[in-house]
């Protein structure tokens, strides 16, 4: 499939999607590629990344299985 054919197919499929949050996510991806800019993190995002890295270094991790159980419990309580 050529680039032009692929682009047309994607545009056609996107025109039928009604999920606003999904479309916003796609827009973010497209914007990042279209502008070829470096993504800039906010200070809050940088701090959260630093915290996460520190937790990883200090062994404060959780298994994927335990995390999935927490997610199910959290979603069930909403």
pLDDT along the chain (78 residues), means of 10: 92 94 91 72 95 95 93 85
- For position 58, what pLDDT does the model report? 96
Based on the structure, what is the number of domains in the chain? 2
- Please tell me whether the overall predicted TM-score, pTM, comes out greater than 0.85 for this model: no
Note whether 48 and 39 are within 8 A (CB).
Answer: no
59: region left, alpha or beta (phi > 0 left; psi from -120 to 50 alpha)? left
Same domain, 29 and 48: no
- For position 36, what pLDDT does the model report? 65
Structural domain that includes position 66: 43-76
Same domain, 30 and 52: no
Cα–Cα distance for residue pair 16/34, rounded to 1 Å:
22
- For position 6, what pLDDT does the model report? 93
Same domain, 53 and 71: yes
Render the burial of 39-77: b for 16+ CB within 10 Å, e for the rest.
eeeeeeeeeeeeeeeeeeeeeeeeeeeeeeeeeeeeeee
């Amino acid at each position: 499939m050529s680039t032009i054919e692929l682009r047309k197919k994607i545009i056609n499929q996107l025109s039928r999607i009604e999920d606003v949050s999904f479309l916003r996510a796609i827009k973010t991806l497209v914007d990042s590629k279209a502008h070829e800019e470096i993504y800039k993190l906010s200070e809050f995002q940088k701090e959260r990344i630093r915290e996460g890295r520190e937790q990883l270094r200090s062994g404060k991790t959780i298994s994927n299985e335990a995390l999935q159980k927490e997610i199910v419990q959290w979603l069930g309580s909403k």
